[in-house]
Structure 1
Amino acid sequence: MTAGGAWAEVVGQPDAVEELSRAAADPTAMTHAWLFTGPPGSGRSVAARAFAAALQCPDHGCGHCTACHTVLSGTHSDVREVVPEGLSISVSEMRALVQLAARRPATAPHQILIITDADRLTEGAANALLKAVEEPPERTVFLLCAPSDHPDDVPITIRSRCRVVPLRTPSGESIAQVLTERDGVPSDMAAWAASVSGGHVGRARHLARDPEVRKHREAVLAMPLRMRGLGDAFSFAGDLVRTAKAEATTMSETRDLAEREEMAVAMGAGGVGKGVAAAARGARAAERELERRQKSRNTRTQRDAIDRALVDLASFFRDALVVGSGADVPLTNPDREAEVRRAATEWPAESVLRRLEAVLACRTALDQNVKPEIAVEAMMTVLQRG
C-alpha cells in the first residue's frame, strides 16, 4: 500500500514515510541534512521531494495546498532541486546553489536544497557542499540522494553529518497498484510491467505506457541466444549504440534548439547601436558554455540509454544462473522463462557467470568514460564466446 497526500508517489516505503512524516510534524525529530539511499527505482528523489513538500506544508504534507503543489511540481521559490544533466555536478554549480540555499526563505518555513544524484558530485563540489552542511544556515535543509552511503557514492565527511533514510526495492504488487490506481493502466498490463521492472517504478511506468520501450526490451533480451558468431556480436553492439544515440538525439534536439533560441533573445540578437560588439563577445562565450553543457547532457542521455539495455542483459544472465542453480526465487524476467531455461541448459554456470561479469564490466567502463562503441563491442565478444 502507498501513503496519501504528498506521499502518494512514494511507493512501497512505509517505514521511511513514517519516519519522515514524524520529522516534518515534530521539530525535535528534525535535522538539517538528510541522505536518501536505495537501489535504482526505489524512489529516492521522489521521497526527498515529498519530504520537502511536507516540510513546507502547514499540514505537514496534505498534498492539496499551494505549498504541496508547488514543491511537487518543482516551482516552489524556496525549494531548489539539482538534477545533473551532464556527467557530474561541478564545483561552480554547487557554490552557486549553496549561496542560494543560504538565503532566508521567502514564503515558507525552510529553504530546501535537493541534490538528486549526490554520487555525481566532483571532489570540489563535495567540498563546497560540505562547508555548507557543516555550518548550515538556521532555516536551510539539505536533502541528498545517492545509491548508498558508501564512500564511493557519498564522501564520509558529508555522510557523517546526514541522517540516512534507507529505501528498499518496492514490491511488484505495490508497483502494479500505483500503475493501476494512479496512472490508469489496465490491471493485466500493470501486473506484467511490475513483474519485469526489477522493482523500478519508473521503468514499470515506461514499459506499461510505451510500446517502443517494450519493443526495445524484447530486442535486447533476444540478443544472447541469437549470437552465433563474432559478426553477430559486432552487429548487435552497433545496433545497441546506434539506438541509444538516436534516443538521445530525439530527446535533445527540441530542448537544445529552445535553449539556443532563448539565449539568442536574452543576448539581444539582432540589436544595433553602442555596446553591440561587447554584447556579441559575451554572447559567443555564453554560447560556448551552452554547447558544452548540451554536449555533456547528450552524452549522459546516451549512456543512460545504453545502461538500461545493460541492466536488461544482466537480468537475463542472472535469471539463467537462478534457473541453473535450482534456486526457488522469482525470475526478473518471468515472461522470458523459456529462453532463460534454454540458456541455463545450453551454457555451463561458469559461462553464464562470465557473461554476467562482462555486462557489469561494460557498465563500469562506461562510468569511467570509455568510448561506448569500444565498451559495448568488448562486452558482446564475451557474450558470444562465453
Structure 2
Amino acid sequence: MSHPVWDELLGQPEAIEQLQRAIGTKQAGLQHAWLFTGPAGSGRSNLARSFAAAIECELDGCGSCQQCRLAMADAHPDVTILKTDRVVINIDEVRSVVSRASLATSVGKYRIIIIEDADRMGERTSNVLLKVLEEPEANTIWILCAPSVSDLLPTIRSRTRNLNLRLPSVAEVTALIMQRDGVEESLARRAALQAQNHVGMARRLATSSEARARRQETLRVALSVGNLSQAMLAAEKLLGVAKRDAEAVAQERDDKERLALMRAYGLEESEKVPPNLRVQFKELEENQKRRQTRALRDGIDRIFTDLESLHRDIMAIQLGGEQELVNQEFQQGIIERAQGTKAKDTIEILDAITKSRARLASNVRDLLVLESLCVQMIFREKIAS
C-alpha cells in the first residue's frame, strides 16, 4: 500500500522505511519517543509531520483523509508542535506541552508532541522533558528534531529512538523540482546547486524570479567589498536583502498554510471561515506573527549559504579544481578573487561564515554579525604581498 504523506519527503528512503515498519505495528504500541536528526534542509520537521499524520490516519498515512490533512496543516487537535523563534526554548513552553501530554485525545488514539529545534533546550528545560520521557503517558508519542544527537543531553538521547537524515543529492533535488514544479532541467539543477542541496531554498530559486534576483544582489554586494567603508555599506545592503527575502518567504508560507488549513476543513479558498472554526484560524495567525523574528534569521542564513557557495567557487579555482562553478554568472569576479588571494584567505572567510552563524544563534545583533563578516571579506589582492 502506498503512503502519500511520505511523498513530500526527498532522499530519505531508509528513514521512511523504518517509520513505515513502525506504523505497521502501531496496534501493538509505538516507541514513545523519537529523535530525528540531520543537517538544515534534510527535512526533519517535514518528516515529523508526515509521521504524525501516518500515526493518526486509519490507513497509515493515506494523505487524503481529514486526519492526514489536519496533521499536515499543523491543525490536528491531537498533534502539538512546539516551535520557537527564540535562541533558547523557554522552560515554560516545555512545561506547557508536557501538561498537554496527559490530556485525553480528541479524535484519534494517540497524542503526538513534536519539538522542533530541540537542541535549543537548556539543561533545566531538558530535565523537565526528561521526567515525562522516563514515565511516559500511555498513547503519547514525542518527536524531537535537532541537527545531531550530540545537541541533546545523553539522558534524553538514551530514551529516544534516533533516525539520522541526510541532505539529498543535487540530482535528487533537481528531479523533485522538475516533477513537482514543472521547471526545466537546467534551471532546476542550477537552483539545487546554488541552494547547496537545501530543498526548500532550491524550490524558491527555481520558481521565483524575485528570489533569484535577491540572490544575485547578495553576490554582487559581496564581490564589491574593497575597503572598510564598503564593508559597512555592504552589511547594511545584505541586511536589507535578508529583510525583503524574509518578508517574501513569510507571505508565501502564510498563504500556503492558510490554504492548507482551509482545505483540511473542506473549505474553498474564497469561502468565509465559519464561526466554529475561527479559533483555529486565529491560532494560525498568531503562530505566524510569532515567527517573524525567526523569518529574518532564516533570511540571513540564506545569505550565508549564498556566500558559502561563492567562496567555494573561489577556492575551487585556487586549488585547480575542474568542477563546474555554481555561480557561473559571476565567473569574472570569482576568477579575480581567486587570482588575487590565496586559498588560506578563502578558508578564513568560510570559517568566518560558520562563526557568523554561531553568533547569530547566540543573539548577537544582526547588523553587527554582518559587519564583522563583511570586514573579513574585504578584497586586498593578497597574492602580491
- The TM-score, its normalising length taken from structure 2, stands at 0.81
Secondary structure of the residue that 1:320 maps to in structure 2? helix
Gaps of 5+ in 2: 254-286, 381-385
Gaps of 5+ in 1: 256-292
User: 2:158 is aligned with what amino acid?
Assistant: S
- Does residue 1:227 correspond to 2:225, yes or no? yes
* 1:368 corresponds to: 362
Q: How do 1:1-386 and structure 2 match up within 5 A?
A: 5-27=4-26, 30-150=30-150, 153-245=151-243, 297-327=291-321, 332-333=326-327, 336-337=330-331, 339-384=333-378
Stretch moving more, 40-49 or 367-376: 367-376
Measured after TM superposition, the shift of residue 178 of structure 1 is 2.2
Secondary structure of the residue that 1:23 maps to in structure 2? helix
In structure 1, distance between residues paired with 2:246 and 2:73: 24
Q: Is the 8 A contact 2:221 2:237 kept in 1?
A: no
Q: Is the 8 A contact 2:78 2:105 kept in 1?
A: yes
Q: Is the 8 A contact 1:77 1:106 kept in 2?
A: yes
Measured after TM superposition, the shift of residue 335 of structure 1 is 5.6
Measured after TM superposition, the shift of residue 53 of structure 1 is 1.3
User: After superposition, what is the alpha-carbon deviation per residue over 1:169-200, rounded to whole angstroms, capped at 9, x for unaligned?
Assistant: 11122222222222333444323212321110
Q: Is the 8 A contact 2:196 2:305 kept in 1?
A: no
In structure 2, distance between residues paired with 1:336 and 1:246: 22
Report the CA distance shift for 1:248/1:201 in structure 2 as closer, same or farther (over 3 A): closer
The alignment yields a C-alpha RMSD, in angstroms, of 2.9
Measured after TM superposition, the shift of residue 63 of structure 1 is 1.8
* 2:281 corresponds to: none
Report the CA distance shift for 1:58/1:249 in structure 2 as closer, same or farther (over 3 A): closer
User: After superposition, what is the alpha-carbon deviation per residue over 1:244-266, rounded to whole angstroms, capped at 9, x for unaligned?
Assistant: 3455577889x9xxxxxxxxxxx
Report the CA distance shift for 1:38/1:347 in structure 2 as closer, same or farther (over 3 A): same
Measured after TM superposition, the shift of residue 212 of structure 1 is 2.0
In structure 2, distance between residues paired with 1:344 and 1:138: 60
Q: Is the 8 A contact 2:57 2:68 kept in 1?
A: yes
User: After superposition, what is the alpha-carbon deviation per residue over 1:328-348, rounded to whole angstroms, capped at 9, x for unaligned?
Assistant: 666554665554344322211
Aligned-residue sequence identity (percent) comes to 38
Report the CA distance shift for 1:335/1:127 in structure 2 as closer, same or farther (over 3 A): farther
User: After superposition, what is the alpha-carbon deviation per residue over 1:78-105, rounded to whole angstroms, capped at 9, x for unaligned?
Assistant: 1111221333321111111111122232
Report the CA distance shift for 1:102/1:61 in structure 2 as closer, same or farther (over 3 A): same
In structure 2, distance between residues paired with 1:336 and 1:249: 26
User: After superposition, what is the alpha-carbon deviation per residue over 1:252-300, rounded to whole angstroms, capped at 9, x for unaligned?
Assistant: 89x9xxxxxxxxxxxxxxxxxxxxxxxxxxxxxxxxxxxxx99975443
Q: Is the 8 A contact 1:310 1:359 kept in 2?
A: yes
Q: Is the 8 A contact 1:78 1:112 kept in 2?
A: yes
User: 1:343 is aligned with what amino acid?
Assistant: R
In structure 2, distance between residues paired with 1:175 and 1:42: 11
Count of paired positions: 347
Secondary structure of the residue that 2:88 maps to in structure 1? coil
Stretch moving more, 74-83 or 311-320: 311-320
